């Protein structure tokens, strides 16, 4: 077996040093009733690399790759072009096959990019401090609510109807099992909900998304003021990080915690994961943050270096009093994010955002001229909602049969809300082409 | 009044009806370099034995249990910028909070200096 | 012919200590600034077209006005920067990485390749289900392997890492208790003192009170103490097996029977499943649920701290409480049961957006298929053999924490360092100068000055022998009584000497700012 260096002669020699006659002796603590004599039944034996590749090619062939179809799907995961340099960098073995940087003398590479990553996140969000990543945006949002509960010592979260339904669902799950209340707003298709009226003295936080799940862009400055007047925190979720190249950052709106899905920068769609959660807050709440933090210091020779710090918040030290149980995070996806963002820089990131907005604007204008399609948004970044003349789910399937990946029927994410049956969510990034838009418009005209 | 100690290594020094609380020389040695102290806010009502403060070193966090009930009159704000005061001067500048005692009898079960010295000796 | 012709000098050994260099670099060790100290306005590492002309923007008046502050670098600068950073890291690709409990085994590159195939790596999670049949089949195939290897009937695939899997498993237990009307009464979770920190953190997050169970002299759960702690208030035990001391819990069947007899559930922390794959099925031990760290047992890369994946296998009793979503096979096609799916059970809710860590599933399945049933069993055996070999070869100079054979990791205490002035930390840092990543230290907490060595199955015997030789040499130097200062000064040859963690924690600097640009830059 190509991955196993020990030869039978090695094994015999090692057993003799140990003083055991067989490997079975080393497993003698396993109760006899649980010892498997032979291999586990019903599973095939090892395969060469060629056979493995063929098996995965066969899986791939049963899918429709976005690279061969007009593609307009978003809803929390976005198709962007990732420069070749990014993938090359994250495949360097020194990054790929290194552990969490608990030994800083031999992990300065990881630590320095985490420090750069944290800094980039604070700049994009307009916040003061950021951690070294969460699993993804969705789990980060639930952690943000728990953090707000700790900071305010209150246990009631108010959740916008514009929050991504999966994010909302995770918050509901943690609320139920970890013991707090979560009041969920109705689906905010038009971007008009008033959350201020729902805030009271028990409210720990209000969770909003910008742009919203349905695509609307809103200013949460007044909401932030209302939260602060009531002693609550404002949590702003961003699922499309590229939007921050063009939009006023949540920090300038008065957000207390900002959680973003960072997938768009550096990380492919990957059928939903792994992605990278960005988590930023105000300095005064630093010690209530979940997750790892990288900080600057000096070594014994006085040279600048970086370490994981403020670890007493974390599970491996604080155990049952930790701010979160998170351990492994999204280190390599954070590297992909930071390399891609470094390639883009100020000018590139802003231009990327401009292109996205322009493509989506073009798409919205073109769809508005299709009979049976009505654009629901007055504002958006690179994603918006349209109301169709008939239920969206079968329309999407009919277009898929024509190899057009046209968007997400809102009913897939909100199956219990009949009012959203006709809604379709579409995104256009820099990867959208005029030909693809032509095909979408023509396809919609046929199936509507 | 003289200083009294708990078996969690907190000390309390009472003047009038206000007790000043910190951690002992022995406790600071065990913790190592203190990097952060979470001190209680003035006005907070606390009950004997309750965890009211946290003293953190790089690799450990220790809860500080109040040796007496009452109301916090002051937390040592200077520790925010100088947590090392707990290492350098645990019985002086490194005090953590002051509490207006609800019941002086809370102090009855605590150790005096001699008893505490014996207690520490028994630990090593 | 004079072969030395043209040479200006021979190779000289010894000499004075190395002089300082102009750059501060030392040959291949390049001092590297932060990207924020390198950028120039007007540089960019991507070429993007002009945005197409459109009518007014639709940003609702919320256009960003100020600078973000991102530096501008060209592509070659970015490549050099991150390449130089990479060279400051130790990695599995470089040699023995004996980090106990973390399982730093070989990461095959075929796994990376297949995860990037068009039609796998580029799929959107919300594509119409008809367009992702192969992806769902792939997940279902991995699920089949995981269920079969563990002997468990169900698996929840969505947790993002081990700790997330713990949360999932413990929520499933809470859900099962709720369904029985016992959640309010069963508030206690038992966990050995040696448990991973995530176990008590998870239980506490769910409102359980954690009660530690002591270990016996053999490093196993004290069965008597466990039985005494079991009662109508106990919801579950969280137990790692093989345990964090690298030992198989020999009374595991008695433990699970006692736990079940008390009406509680057995959560197994599967962090060490890699020791027993193919030789023991946790389902045969009475486990109710167990997370599997795909980044440990099935070799998806650790990536400097993630991403991971933590699928949770579930017993028949807990399967109805699995979280959304899951894959359903209907004849020849697959669908996904997403939020709100009508099922026979009470799912505990959703734990993560979309369908789980697909990129990790792909890599893990490629690893599993490459090994096959025969190779997986051999890998477990080689891992256990290598750990016992290291233990046997070091036991006369270091102090094993427990007698008898270990599983996949060898645990030592700091007894051999007593009165030498050298601590576990010093010993570990000296390993760096020998070219090794330190072992796990000070964990588990129940062993004084613990050193936990996990060689894995990936090291050739001659590399293990060199590693053993290095540790023997260090142990002999440490116990000579003359080397304490040397050890305190280690490491000397790494990109950085020991770092001041007290300074970092007292005055946290968590980001670069133009104003706090490091003092060296100003000098």
Question: SS3 letters for A314-348?
Answer: CHHHHHHHCCCCCCCCCHHHHHHHHHHHHHHHHHH
Residue A75 has pLDDT above 90, yes or no: yes
Q: Measured between CA atoms, how close is C487 to chain B, in angstroms?
A: 20
Pairing of strands B70-75, A383-388: unpaired
* Contact (CB<8Å) B59/A311: yes
Residue C522 has pLDDT above 50, yes or no: no
Regarding pTM above 0.90, the answer is yes
> CB atoms < 10 A from the CB of C1, how many?
4
The pLDDT confidence band at residue C519, using thresholds 50, 70 and 90, is very low
Residue A88 has pLDDT above 70, yes or no: yes
What pLDDT sits at residue B123? 83
- Per-residue model confidence as pLDDT tens digits over B86-110: 999 999 999 999 999 999 898 888 9
Contact A297, C501 (CB under 8 A): yes
Residue A37 has pLDDT above 70, yes or no: yes
* Contact (CB<8Å) B36/C506: yes
What pLDDT sits at residue C133? 98
Torsion of CA C248, C253, C259, C261, to 10 degrees: -170
* Contact (CB<8Å) C506/B56: no
Chain A residue closest in CA terms to B62:
A318
Q: CA geometry: angle at C513 spanning C508 and C518, to 5°? A: 75
Distance between CA atoms of C90 and C106, rounded to whole angstroms?
14
Residue C1 has pLDDT above 50, yes or no: no
What pLDDT sits at residue C517? 52
What pLDDT sits at residue C523? 35
> CB atoms < 10 A from the CB of B88, how many?
12
Number of B/C CB contacts below 8 angstroms equals 14
**Selected residue with higher pLDDT from C263 and C14:** C263
Q: Which residues of C35-45 are buried (b: 16+ CB within 10 A; e: fewer)?
A: bbebbeeebbb
What pLDDT sits at residue A42? 86
Distance between CA atoms of A84 and A88, rounded to whole angstroms?
6
The pLDDT confidence band at residue C12, using thresholds 50, 70 and 90, is low
The pLDDT confidence band at residue C13, using thresholds 50, 70 and 90, is low
Distance between CA atoms of A309 and C506, rounded to whole angstroms?
10
Residues in C closer than 8 angstroms to B83, CB to CB, are 506
Class of domain B3-103+111-123: mainly beta
Mean pLDDT of the region C222-234: 96
Closest to A331 (Cα-Cα) out of A139, A115, A141: A115
Residues in chain C: 523
Q: What percent of chain C has pLDDT over 70?
A: 95
Residues in B closer than 8 angstroms to A317, CB to CB, are 59-61
> CB atoms < 10 A from the CB of A24, how many?
12
Contact A45, C375 (CB under 8 A): yes
What pLDDT sits at residue C520? 41
* Contact (CB<8Å) C92/A295: no
What pLDDT sits at residue C10? 57
Residue B81 has pLDDT above 80, yes or no: yes
In chain A, DSSP finds a helix count (H) and a strand count (E) of 15, 13
What pLDDT sits at residue A12? 98
Distance between CA atoms of C80 and C82, rounded to whole angstroms?
6
Retrieve residue C46's tokens.
């991507």
Residue C74 has pLDDT above 70, yes or no: yes
Mean pLDDT of the region A202-221: 97
**Selected residue with higher pLDDT from A38 and C232:** C232
- Per-residue model confidence as pLDDT tens digits over A92-124: 999 999 999 999 999 999 999 999 999 999 999
Query: What are the sequence ranges of the domains in chain A?
Result: 66-82+346-447, 84-340
What pLDDT sits at residue C9? 55
Contact B75, B42 (CB under 8 A): yes
Q: Is B54 on the interface with C (CB under 8 A)?
A: no
Closest to A278 (Cα-Cα) out of A66, A163, A395, A130: A130
The pLDDT confidence band at residue A143, using thresholds 50, 70 and 90, is very high
Query: Angle at which helices A331-368 and A434-447 pack, to 10 degrees?
Result: 60
Mean pLDDT of the region C310-318: 97
The CATH number assigned to the domain with range A66-82+346-447 reads 3.90.1150.10
What pLDDT sits at residue C248? 96
Q: Is A312 on the interface with B (CB under 8 A)?
A: yes
* Contact (CB<8Å) C505/B58: yes
Helix (H, G, I), strand (E, B) or coil at C443: coil
Alpha-carbon distances, residue A4 vs A335, C107, C292 (angstroms)? 30, 12, 22
Q: Is B56 on the interface with C (CB under 8 A)?
A: yes
Across chain C, mean pLDDT equals 93
Contact C202, C248 (CB under 8 A): no
**Selected residue with higher pLDDT from A424 and B49:** A424
Residues in C closer than 8 angstroms to B33, CB to CB, are 502, 506
What pLDDT sits at residue C14? 62
- Per-residue model confidence as pLDDT tens digits over B22-78: 999 999 998 899 999 999 999 999 999 999 999 998 888 899 999 999 999 999 999
Its ipTM equals 0.97
Q: Measured between CA atoms, how close is B18 to chain A, in angstroms?
A: 28
Closest to A180 (Cα-Cα) out of A207, A147, A146: A146
- Per-residue model confidence as pLDDT tens digits over C421-476: 999 999 999 999 999 999 999 998 889 999 999 999 999 999 999 999 999 999 99
Q: Is C86 on the interface with B (CB under 8 A)?
A: no
Closest to A136 (Cα-Cα) out of C360, C4, C343, C107: C360
Residue C11 has pLDDT above 70, yes or no: no
Strand ordering across the sheet containing A383-388: A373-375, A383-388, A423-427, A408-409
- The CATH architecture assigned to A84-340 reads 3-Layer(aba) Sandwich (3.40)
Contact A426, A74 (CB under 8 A): yes
Q: What percent of chain A has pLDDT over 70?
A: 100
Sequence-distant (≥ 6) Cβ neighbours of residue C224 within 8 angstroms: none
The pLDDT confidence band at residue A356, using thresholds 50, 70 and 90, is very high
Closest to C377 (Cα-Cα) out of C368, C386, C390: C368
Closest to A294 (Cα-Cα) out of A425, A117, A435, A121: A117
Q: What percent of chain C has pLDDT over 90?
A: 88
Alpha-carbon distances, residue B62 vs A73, A293, A308, B4, C192 (angstroms)? 50, 20, 20, 20, 21
Q: Measured between CA atoms, how close is C504 to chain B, in angstroms?
A: 9
Residues in B closer than 8 angstroms to A287, CB to CB, are 36, 38
Query: What are the sequence ranges of the domains in chain B?
Result: 3-103+111-123
- Per-residue model confidence as pLDDT tens digits over C353-407: 999 999 999 999 999 999 999 999 999 999 999 999 999 999 999 999 999 899 9
What pLDDT sits at residue B15? 92
Across chain B, mean pLDDT equals 92
Distance between CA atoms of C221 and A272, rounded to whole angstroms?
40
Contact C102, A99 (CB under 8 A): yes
Contact C500, B58 (CB under 8 A): no
Sorted by where each starts, the structural domains of chain C and their CATH numbers stand as 113-368 (3.40.640.10), 373-505 (3.90.1150.10)
């Amino acid at each position: 077996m190509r991955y196993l260096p020990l030869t039978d002669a090695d094994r015999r020699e090692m057993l003799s040093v140990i003083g055991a006659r067989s490997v079975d002796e080393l497993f003698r603590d396993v109760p006899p009733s649980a010892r498997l004599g032979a291999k586990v039944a019903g599973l095939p034996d090892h395969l060469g690399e060629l056979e493995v590749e063929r098996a995965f090619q066969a899986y791939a062939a049963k899918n429709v790759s976005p690279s061969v179809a007009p593609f307009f799907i978003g809803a929390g995961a976005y198709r962007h072009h990732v420069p070749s340099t990014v993938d090359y960098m994250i495949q360097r073995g020194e990054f790929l096959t290194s552990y969490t940087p608990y030994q800083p003398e031999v992990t300065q590479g990881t630590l320095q990019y985490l420090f750069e990553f944290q800094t980039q996140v604070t700049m994009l969000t307009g916040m003061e401090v950021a951690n070294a990543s969460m699993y993804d945006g969705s789990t980060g949002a639930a952690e943000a609510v728990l953090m707000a509960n700790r900071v305010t010592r209150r246990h009631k979260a108010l959740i916008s109807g514009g929050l991504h339904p999966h994010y909302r669902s995770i918050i509901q799950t943690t609320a139920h099992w970890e013991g707090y209340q979560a009041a969920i707003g109705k689906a905010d298709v038009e971007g008009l909900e008033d959350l201020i009226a729902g805030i009271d003295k028990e409210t720990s936080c209000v969770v909003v998304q910008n742009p919203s799940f349905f695509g609307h862009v809103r200013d949460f400055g007044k909401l932030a003021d209302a939260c602060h007047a009531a002693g609550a925190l404002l949590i702003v979720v961003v699922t499309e990080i590229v939007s921050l190249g063009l939009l006023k950052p949540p920090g300038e709106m008065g957000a207390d915690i900002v959680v973003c899905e960072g997938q768009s920068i550096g990380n492919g769609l990957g059928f939903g994961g792994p992605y990278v959660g960005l988590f930023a807050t105000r300095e005064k709440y630093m010690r209530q943050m979940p997750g790892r933090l990288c900080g600057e210091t000096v070594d014994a020779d006085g040279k600048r270096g970086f370490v994981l710090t403020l670890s007493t918040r974390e599970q491996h030290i604080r155990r049952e009093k930790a701010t979160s149980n998170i351990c492994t995070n999204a280190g390599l996806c954070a590297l992909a994010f930071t390399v891609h963002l470094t390639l883009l820089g100020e000018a590139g990131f802003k231009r990327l955002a401009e292109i996205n907005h322009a493509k989506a604007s073009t798409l919205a204008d073109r769809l508005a001229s299709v009979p049976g399609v009505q654009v629901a948004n007055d504002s958006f970044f690179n994603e918006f909602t349209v109301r169709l003349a008939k239920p969206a789910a079968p329309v999407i399937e009919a277009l898929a049969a024509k190899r057009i990946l046209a968007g997400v029927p809102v009913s897939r994410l909100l199956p219990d809300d009949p009012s959203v049956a006709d809604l379709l969510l579409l995104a256009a990034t820099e990867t959208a082409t005029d030909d693809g838009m032509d095909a979408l418009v023509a396809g919609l005209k046929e199936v509507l | 009044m003289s200083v009294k100690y708990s078996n969690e290594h907190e000390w309390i020094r009472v003047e009038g009806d206000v007790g000043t609380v910190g951690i002992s020389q022995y406790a600071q040695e065990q913790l190592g370099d203190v990097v952060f102290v979470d001190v209680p806010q003035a006005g907070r009502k606390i009950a004997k034995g309750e965890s009211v403060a946290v003293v953190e070193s790089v690799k450990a966090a220790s809860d500080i249990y109040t040796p007496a009930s009452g109301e916090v009159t002051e937390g040592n704000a200077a520790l925010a910028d100088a947590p090392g005061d707990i290492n350098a001067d645990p019985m002086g500048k490194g005090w953590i909070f002051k509490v207006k005692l609800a019941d002086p009898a809370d102090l009855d079960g605590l150790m005096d200096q001699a008893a505490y010295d014996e207690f520490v000796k028994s630990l090593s | 012919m004079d072969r030395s012709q043209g040479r200006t000098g021979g190779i000289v050994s010894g000499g004075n200590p190395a002089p300082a260099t102009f750059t501060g670099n030392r040959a291949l060790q390049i001092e590297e600034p932060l990207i924020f100290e390198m950028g120039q306005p007007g540089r960019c590492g991507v070429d993007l077209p002009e945005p197409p002309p459109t009518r007014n923007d639709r940003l609702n008046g919320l256009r960003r006005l100020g600078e973000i502050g991102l530096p501008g670098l060209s592509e070659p600068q970015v490549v050099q920067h991150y390449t130089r950073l990479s060279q400051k890291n130790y990695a599995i690709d470089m040699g023995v990485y004996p980090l106990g409990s973390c399982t730093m085994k070989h990461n095959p590159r075929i796994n990376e390749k297949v995860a990037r195939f068009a039609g796998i790596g580029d799929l959107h999670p919300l594509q119409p289900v008809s367009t992702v049949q192969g992806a769902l089949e792939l997940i279902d195939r991995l699920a089949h392997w995981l269920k079969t290897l563990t002997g468990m009937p169900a698996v929840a695939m969505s947790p993002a890492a081990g700790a997330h899997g713990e949360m999932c498993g413990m929520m499933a237990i809470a859900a099962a208790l709720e369904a029985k009307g016992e959640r309010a009464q069963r508030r206690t979770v038992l966990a050995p003192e040696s448990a991973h920190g995530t176990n008590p953190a998870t239980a506490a997050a769910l409102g359980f009170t954690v009660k530690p169970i002591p270990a016996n002299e053999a490093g196993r759960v004290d069965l008597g103490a466990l039985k005494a702690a079991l009662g109508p208030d106990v919801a579950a035990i969280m137990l790692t097996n093989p345990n964090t001391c690298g030992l198989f819990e020999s009374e595991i069947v008695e433990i699970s029977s006692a736990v079940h007899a008390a009406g509680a559930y057995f959560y197994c922390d599967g962090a060490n499943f890699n020791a027993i794959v193919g030789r023991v099925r946790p389902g045969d031990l009475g486990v109710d649920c167990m997370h599997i760290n795909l980044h440990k047992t099935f070799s998806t890369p650790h990536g400097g701290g993630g991403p991971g994946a933590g699928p949770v296998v579930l017993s028949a009793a807990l399967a109805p409480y699995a979280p959304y979503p899951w894959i359903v096979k209907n004849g020849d096609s697959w669908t996904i049961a997403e939020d709100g799916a009508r099922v026979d059970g009470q799912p505990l809710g959703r734990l993560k957006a979309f369908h789980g860590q697909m990129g990790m599933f792909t890599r893990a399945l490629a690893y599993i298929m490459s090994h096959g049933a025969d190779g997986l069993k051999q890998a477990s055996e080689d891992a256990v053999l290598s750990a016992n070999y290291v233990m046997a070869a070091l036991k006369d100079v270091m102090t094993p924490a427990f007698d008898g054979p270990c599983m996949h990791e060898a645990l030592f205490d700091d007894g051999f360092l007593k009165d030498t002035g050298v601590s576990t930390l010093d010993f570990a840092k000296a390993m760096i100068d020998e070219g090794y990543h330190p072992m796990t230290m000070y964990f588990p907490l129940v062993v004084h000055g613990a050193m936990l060595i996990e060689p894995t199955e990936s090291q050739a015997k001659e590399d293990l022998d060199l590693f053993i030789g290095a540790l023997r040499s260090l142990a002999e130097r440490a116990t000579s009584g003359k080397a304490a200062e040397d050890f305190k000064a280690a490491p000397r040859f790494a990109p950085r000497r020991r770092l001041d963690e007290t300074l970092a924690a007292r005055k946290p600097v968590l980001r670069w700012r133009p104003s706090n640009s490091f003092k060296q830059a100003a000098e």
